[in-house]
Amino acid sequence: MAAPSALSYRWAEARKRPMNRKILVIDDDPIGTRLIEYVLRQRGYQVLTAPNGLEGLKKAQEETPDLAVLNVMLPGMDGFEVCQRLRSQEETARLPILILSGRAQPADRATGFKMGADDYMTKPATPSEILGRIESLLSRRNAITSRVITFLGTSKGVGTTFAAFHTATALAATSKHVVAVDLCSGQGSLGRLLGARPGDSFVLHEAPVESLNVEELESSLATHRSGVRVLTIAEGQASTLKSPLAGLNLVFSVLGNDADYFIIDLPFRPAPLTRAVLEQSDFAVIVSGSTLEDLAGAKSVLNVLRFLGVPPERVGAVINDAKGSCPSEALPALRPFLAASLGIILLGVIPYDSNSSVSLALATPLVAASVSPVNPAQEIAQQLVALTKLSRQPAQAMAKDL
């Protein structure tokens, strides 16, 4: 009998993780608390409860939970202050915090993230949705050394795959271990560019997580000559999966042990998988063309991300002049205008270069193909390294640093 692979071992370990995990629920609603407690205990978690903020802070110090679920409307000290205090104390500074609140205004979400919450859900929410968010945060904590960067395009043809491919290879060129995930297999080409064969696609099953076939996952991985490993998700899954979170979490957990970065090429469409990936992401990169119409599209995408609860400080933009709309010598002068127009971090501007198109067609990293002293892929990669390091800090500290 063949020895179990390293991935098989990690998958087995990942399935054990709920056991003995402590979840602290701070909520003054006894009915809602009992419901969450029941669902979590059925899953194998230990559950601690507190009816107010002061008791919640005390239990967080004494019991060292693995995650806190926090209501905003609490007697005495509100949930925002509890969140801020948890972040200010060394023992709980990195505790994953899920705010679960009936306050659904954008300003409430923004305050929650500013105070240090890792995620924000609005009531009413089903037990399965709450469980999914909790396991998503725990999964990210398990893979604490790996960071997830998601690329989304404003429309087809703006160069999203181009930006993702060259960023992945630029990171690999700095001795980073990179896993690229192609969720656009029906329309994109990231997997093919990175050496995946037509049959090298992985079926991301619905829950329960036991349906994950780790041998299939292992056989679906391809390795590019740059060192980037690539996983292609089977065509059509981005729009058909209804409950992708459990399988997606295990993919991140299993592969994240050997990865510094996940680079994801994500189709921007309304689907549960889109939301699930964004929930897992440390940073989202909107790829846009350089025309006014393209910039308007980028702002629309940004508005949708804000609606989904993605903090604007964790979103950046890449302008790719794929069609040569702007003279390359004019782009540096336009950068301040482009950044101000978008209202988010401008990671880099990729000027039109026919050699870049040839490089992409031949799957040649722009890092190697370009002779420019300031390579746009390297610039974007360097900024993403810095920003994703910040994204591991409490949200209020990150906002201060930015």
Per-residue pLDDT tens digits for 74-123 = 998 999 999 999 988 878 887 889 998 888 787 888 888 888 888 888 88
The model's pLDDT over 193-213, given as tens digits with 9 standing for 90+, comes to: 887 776 677 777 654 445 556
At 47 the pLDDT is 93
Same domain, 340 and 272: yes
If one compares 272 and 125, the residue with the highest pLDDT of the two is 125
Residues 93, 341: Cα–Cα separation, whole Å: 35
The answer as to whether 400 is a domain residue is no
Please give the distance of CA 371 from its chain centroid, rounded to a whole number.
32
Same domain, 322 and 375: yes
The answer as to whether 43 is a domain residue is yes
Closest-CA residue to 183 (of 226, 237, 247)? 237
Closest-CA residue to 343 (of 390, 288, 380)? 288
Most confident of the ranges 143-147, 150-154, 253-257, 325-329: 150-154
The model's pLDDT over 286-342, given as tens digits with 9 standing for 90+, comes to: 998 888 888 888 899 998 888 877 888 889 888 887 777 776 666 667 778 777 878
The answer as to whether 54 is a domain residue is yes
Same domain, 76 and 155: no
Residues 127, 55: Cα–Cα separation, whole Å: 24
Number of domains in the chain: 2
CATH number of the domain enclosing 312: 3.40.50.300
The answer as to whether 132 is a domain residue is yes
Same domain, 234 and 274: yes
Mean pLDDT to the nearest integer, 202-231: 73
Same domain, 40 and 123: yes
For residue 256, pLDDT over 90 is answered with no
Last residue of a domain, one of 95, 112, 142: 142
The model's pLDDT over 56-74, given as tens digits with 9 standing for 90+, comes to: 999 999 988 989 999 999 9
For residue 165, pLDDT over 80 is answered with yes
The answer as to whether 65 is a domain residue is yes
Same domain, 255 and 181: yes
For residue 25, pLDDT over 80 is answered with yes
Range of the domain at 339: 147-394
Same domain, 135 and 172: no
For the four alpha carbons of 42, 45, 49 and 53, in that order, the dihedral sign comes to negative
Given pLDDT bands bounded at 50, 70 and 90, which one contains residue 145? low
Residue 267 CB contacts under 8 Å (≥ 6 apart), including other chains: 152, 183, 184, 187, 188, 238, 239, 274
Last residue of a domain, one of 142, 163, 197: 142
For residue 346, pLDDT over 70 is answered with yes
At 1 the pLDDT is 39
Residues 388, 402: Cα–Cα separation, whole Å: 12
Given pLDDT bands bounded at 50, 70 and 90, which one contains residue 170? confident
Please provide the average confidence, as pLDDT, over all residues in the chain.
Answer: 77
Same domain, 135 and 215: no
Same domain, 55 and 174: no
At 341 the pLDDT is 79
The answer as to whether 399 is a domain residue is no
Q: What is the DSSP letter of 362?
A: T
Given pLDDT bands bounded at 50, 70 and 90, which one contains residue 399? very low
User: Is 315 in contact with 302 (CB distance < 8 Å)?
Assistant: yes
For residue 45, pLDDT over 80 is answered with yes
| Percent of the chain whose pLDDT exceeds 70 | 73
Mean pLDDT to the nearest integer, 169-182: 89
Given pLDDT bands bounded at 50, 70 and 90, which one contains residue 143? very low
Same domain, 211 and 359: yes
For residue 401, pLDDT over 50 is answered with no
Same domain, 244 and 390: yes
Last residue of a domain, one of 88, 111, 142: 142
If one compares 273 and 161, the residue with the highest pLDDT of the two is 161
pTM: 0.65
Same domain, 280 and 347: yes
Please report, for residues 43, 65, 69, the alpha-carbon distance to residue 46 in angstroms, rounded to integers and kept in the order given.
9, 9, 13
